Structure 1
Amino acid sequence: MLEGGDLDVLTGDYLAELTMLILGRDLAKNPDLGYAKTFLRQLDGCLATAVDRGVTLVTNAGGVNPTGLASAVRALAEKLGLAARLGRDIRVATVEGDDVRAHPAVPRHALTANAYLGAFGIAECIRAGADVVVTGRVTDASLVIGPAIAHFGWTRDDLDALAGATVAGHVIECGAQATGGNYPFFTELPDGGRRPGFPIAEVEADGSSVITKHPGTGGAVTVETVTAQLLYEVDSPAYRGPDVVAHLDTVRLDADGPDRVRISGVRGSLPPPTLKVGVSTLGGFRNSVTFVLCGLSIEDKAQLVRDQLTSAVGKDGLEFRLARTDHPDPADTESGSALLHVHLKDTDAKRAGRAFSAAAVELALASYPGLTMLGPPGDAAPYGVFEAYAVPQEDVTHTAVLPDGTRVPVPPPAETTTDLAPEAPPQPQTTPRREPTARTPLGAVAGARSGDKGADANLGVWARDDAGYEWLQGFLTVGKLKALLPEAAAVPVERYDLPNLRAVNFVLRGLLGAGGVAASTRFDPQAKALGELLRAKLVEIPVRLVS
């Protein structure tokens, strides 16, 4: 990114729900850690280039110890001799205040508790001339909004501009996912999706933007690649942030030349009075093993293992999932085998560790015929639980620590509102046209992108043209989704329409189970493959759309 073309700011998003748990454990072991060490290793090879080119670096890699990472960056600059090149010391600033473990709304046993801060602290650091801005937990989009605030002088009243930058930040926060990475139609990309470049947001004074990439890099920037990322890990169309609520149903996407997509029309409204707080706690210990069941009597073999393990270790915390990957009249062992996934979670490390492993291994000569495993069980490993809380914005001491050490308080927004997002609107009642159809995978006419938000999953589906959207909007109701994806039938599902994107977005409440990704034993714990599963389903599609 630094060598491929002009940049003003280079952002780096290193944090996820699971990452915060990992960094919290690092900090508990060593007070000098708690930040993303990979950022520091990467910086070793490019800090000098960024300084030479005058590119400001903004990253949330500070994790749960932004001060520690800032000190490490200064030490790296000294090692690289940058002061002599610059004629001054490198200017490193931090954003602090997200650690709210002491807040009364947060459980006392929390390992980490971090409020999702907004962008105005980052803007203060950049206005003070920082070469590198290190934050803890800010919203992903804040990494883009902050530099735009500093450059254009936006205030909290510039809601539409802030909302536009929020959308730009959301598009580029996951890197190559906006340029063809994880894209359902990857075979159509110029290089087949082999090495997509990283996206660039050219943000303008009114908050509109153009998404592009450096010339000569792989992948592509199209309306559909941008749509795919816009639908990733979103809830209702009212996309909540600490500084503004961006209304995704107002987003307009237009091609603006080769590998250029313009984002415009985004409307913003007042933010909520509270900040989201991600809380990580240690949930206990876990272990797992997968038995391979080959040939006949698959269900009986699985039941035998269930009975034997339950008898050996007890039923509490024990989970079994049978994946019928076997085929009749198989050509080889693999195609004739099913997989029985067994998980155990417990607060007792010995039961989840030695007791479970011993019970599983002892079945090798005393269970079903042909017993084998994908690998032996190991030692018990600790797992974490993620929960989302909310605290009033005014309870958080959002602070910008400037390069000279000056601490600048960042006040919360003066105006907020609790009237943020309507309930999911009623489903449109349409009468299907009587016309010829063909039983075809849904993915032949629709793209999809899915992901996780704590215990919930989202599944965004878009049509490739107007005719496809007209059909999709009437066809893919909540009831139809539950019929196509039986695992969704047991949870509340909301559908939101995004006509400007020719898309519908489903939110599947509680699909991933309590505790979030770190505690999940699902085969697809982050619901990343849920969209592709839906696209593989055979449905009756009008012949005019698939011919």
Structure 2
Amino acid sequence: MSSRSRPVRIAGASGSASDRRHAMAAFAKAYPMDPIDVIISDYMSEVNMTIGAGRKVDASASSHAQDNAFLGPAGPAFEASFVEALEPALDDLARYGIKVAANAGNADVRGLYSVVCEMVARKGLGEKVKVAWISGDEVLPAINEGLKNGTSKFKNIYTGQILEKWEFEPIYAHAYLGGMGIAEAFRQGAQIVVCGRVADASPVIGAACWFHDWRREQLDELANAFVAGHMIECSNYVVGGNFSGFKALEADGRWVDIGYPIAEIASDGGVVITKQKHSGGMVSVHTCSSQLLYEIQGPWYFNSDVTAVLDGIWFEQLAVDRVALRGVKALPPPPTTKVGITARGGFQAEAWYFMTGLDVPEKARMTEAQLRKGLSPYSDKFTTLAFSVLGSPGEDADSQNAATCVFRVFAQAKQANDIAPQKFLRPVIDNIMQGYPGSTFHLDFRQGIPKPYFEYYVTLLDQAKVSHKVHFADKETLIPPPTLTKTFPERQPSQPRTQLEIDLTRFGPTTRIPLGRIVHARSGDKGSDCNCGFWVVHQDEYVWLRNLLSIDTVKRLLGKEYDETRTPKIEIERFELPNLRGVHFLFRNLLNRGATSTAGVDFLGKNCAEYLRSRHVDVPVRFLERGRL
């Protein structure tokens, strides 16, 4: 197929395993009025990767009955929510020939493939709708072989630890694959392609490569498709979900039912982001900036197929709900790909008390001292024991709920018996009679029952060690690794402060208010790291922002979250995106072992931005007279 003259229209119908299920069917049904070529769905995260890995290993060994209880009702090692979304869409997908690519296979892609084929056959669509599956992301044998022959130490890209020093035993390893397998499956005639851990943006790369018949060497086009994939892989996020400007969506009820995005990608790599017709939310320069700044870790954005260079990126509002992507640069991909290794970490439990009104810090100190004493006969077996206050009571609050916050007790241990109810939950709730004034605990004791958790380790594997294959029509096709690659430094470029500093007093009189009154921000998780990007509307505000937000200033804004004594050490990296009027920070190890095992409640790092926006700084008064969006 030669490159087509029109753009390919790719719809993003899911951003996680817990996204709403209706978007795929809605896109397919609306085809006559709002045609699309491909629907992509992203289901993978570090949380469900570890759960899928545990289910796959348990299903194979049938030897971890207690661990299975943690996983809740018996479930597959693939993402069943994809099946729920696909079934009502199938007839329209077949009618209009819309292609689908989804990374819902998790740790059992072949199992998902079988379920989808059975569903297609039951609907009498087997002759029309052809299904392919992608393998190669399960790489624990390659990791073990590399350790055995000494070809790699498999350093953790977040902590610097080497794998043989990790105290946990790996049970599964997911490699992040590129989009070339998806492209090949479409070329061979597949309409639905199910994958495991292809990278979030890889389905969009694959769809664009197929539609325009791009070659691997077309790095500029691939880089633009890669960023387009990043823009729509989180579904609603680029349309106004998780957006610090969300209050602008209240008008006309646009925040009630936020729509799903569409990326239009031309044969030369040009990208326009839009959304479903007649849907809520909006697509603007600012919603696009928000999503762009999410989960990146520096100016280099890596995929197995290409590296996108982001520091010159910008967006142009072409019309209502139509935004063009500009300024993406390309470099070859690295010779390695990211690998997430899962291990069984142990067991965890928690309990909550409620504290209301006055003297909450003193009430918390009293309770912690009492509970440490009560738990002392058992806590030497705990690997983690953490106490925290969630929220603060409203001053002169107009209701009791508004004056109440949560005191959380959290524990982890190697064995379930080490935090059994009589060793954790019982001592915690037995403390009530000697407690603070108003002492009240949460009656949902299920939180205090030990449940297994997973540890997650992220490293790199040579792409040549990955057996990336397409399975379609009773044949296998091997996808070779890229021949043109570039080795990058371990750390991204970082500026501790802006290059040309300006005295902030030049901006005139100031008032001390929350940073977020004039600054947008967005944050997210990658392993144990958390990223946070800030941006503003006006150019003079950006001059002020990049001078204000040095690494030293951000350390102060993080407050107690920046703990210099923590191991592994928290480190901060910074770079500027002048065309976005943005400053981006990477907080290494802020999430302390990552989403699956952290003791914090912001396990996905999404609220870090909102916390930092709430911190008070001296803001020029003249900025407050302007509109924000």
Q: Please give the TM-score of this superposition, normalised by the length of structure 1.
A: 0.94
The answer to whether residue 176 in structure 2 is matched with residue 109 in structure 1 is no
The answer to whether residue 578 in structure 2 is matched with residue 508 in structure 1 is no
Q: 1:397 to 1:476 in 2, by over 3 A?
A: same
Deviations 1:194-245 (A, max 9, x none): 2111000001112121000122111111111101000001101100111111
Deviations 1:66-92 (A, max 9, x none): 111111101001111224xxxx25311
Partner of 2:578: 499
Q: 1:300 to 1:243 in 2, by over 3 A?
A: closer
Out of 85, 95, 99, the residue aligned to residue 52 of structure 1 is 95
How far, CA to CA, are the matches of 1:419 and 1:455 in structure 2?
A: 21
Partner of 1:342: 409
How far, CA to CA, are the matches of 2:607 and 2:342 in structure 1?
A: 25
Partner of 1:100: 139
Partner of 2:611: 533
Q: 1:259 to 1:331 in 2, by over 3 A?
A: closer
Runs of 4+ in 1 over 4 A off after TM superposition: 105-108, 294-297, 327-338, 366-369
Q: 1:531 to 1:24 in 2, by over 3 A?
A: same
Q: 1:309 to 1:320 in 2, by over 3 A?
A: farther
Partner of 1:415: 484
- SS of the residue 2:210 aligns to: helix
- SS of the residue 1:114 aligns to: strand
Q: How does 1:84-483 map to 2 (within 5 A)?
A: 88=127, 90-103=129-142, 104=144, 105=147, 109-189=169-249, 190=251, 191-294=253-356, 295-296=358-359, 297-315=362-380, 316=382, 317-323=384-390, 325-326=392-393, 333-334=400-401, 337-354=404-421, 355-375=423-443, 376=445, 377-402=447-472, 404-419=473-488, 422-428=492-498, 429-434=501-506, 435-483=508-556
Out of 19, 35, 53, the residue aligned to residue 6 of structure 1 is 35
- SS of the residue 1:11 aligns to: strand
Deviations 1:113-162 (A, max 9, x none): 01101111111000011010011101111010001111112112111111
Deviations 1:231-262 (A, max 9, x none): 00110110011111101113231111111001
Deviates more, 1:165-174 or 1:528-537: 528-537
Q: 1:545 to 1:330 in 2, by over 3 A?
A: closer
How far, CA to CA, are the matches of 1:405 and 1:163 in structure 2?
A: 33
Give the C-alpha shift of residue 463 in structure 1: 0.7
Deviations 1:302-335 (A, max 9, x none): 2443333332422432222234624677766545
- SS of the residue 1:177 aligns to: helix
Deviates more, 1:33-42 or 1:55-64: 33-42
What are structure 1's unaligned runs of at least 5 residues?
Answer: none
Give the C-alpha shift of residue 398 in structure 1: 0.8
Q: 1:16 to 1:300 in 2, by over 3 A?
A: closer
- SS of the residue 1:81 aligns to: coil
Give the C-alpha shift of residue 38 in structure 1: 0.9
Give the C-alpha shift of residue 166 in structure 1: 0.5
- SS of the residue 1:382 aligns to: strand
Tell me if structure 2 keeps the 8 A contact 1:306–1:320. Answer: no
Give the C-alpha shift of residue 387 in structure 1: 1.2
Give the C-alpha shift of residue 12 in structure 1: 0.5
Tell me if structure 1 keeps the 8 A contact 2:424–2:448. Answer: no
Q: 1:312 to 1:323 in 2, by over 3 A?
A: farther
- SS of the residue 1:225 aligns to: helix
Partner AA of 2:531 in structure 1? N
How far, CA to CA, are the matches of 1:433 and 1:319 in structure 2?
A: 42
- SS of the residue 1:512 aligns to: coil
How far, CA to CA, are the matches of 2:439 and 2:608 in structure 1?
A: 31
Partner AA of 2:114 in structure 1? S
Percent of aligned positions with the same letter in both sequences? Answer: 34
Partner of 2:595: 517
Deviates more, 1:408-417 or 1:160-169: 408-417
Deviations 1:354-402 (A, max 9, x none): 2212222322345445321123343200001111011111011111112
Q: 1:422 to 1:41 in 2, by over 3 A?
A: closer
- SS of the residue 1:205 aligns to: coil
Deviates more, 1:28-37 or 1:449-458: 28-37
- SS of the residue 1:517 aligns to: coil
How far, CA to CA, are the matches of 2:512 and 2:170 in structure 1?
A: 51
How far, CA to CA, are the matches of 1:208 and 1:75 in structure 2?
A: 38
Q: 1:323 to 1:6 in 2, by over 3 A?
A: closer
Tell me if structure 1 keeps the 8 A contact 2:105–2:112. Answer: yes
Give the C-alpha shift of residue 415 in structure 1: 1.8
The root-mean-square deviation of aligned C-alpha atoms, in Å, is 2.0
Partner AA of 1:488 in structure 2? Y
Give the C-alpha shift of residue 424 in structure 1: 0.6
How far, CA to CA, are the matches of 1:72 and 1:329 in structure 2?
A: 57
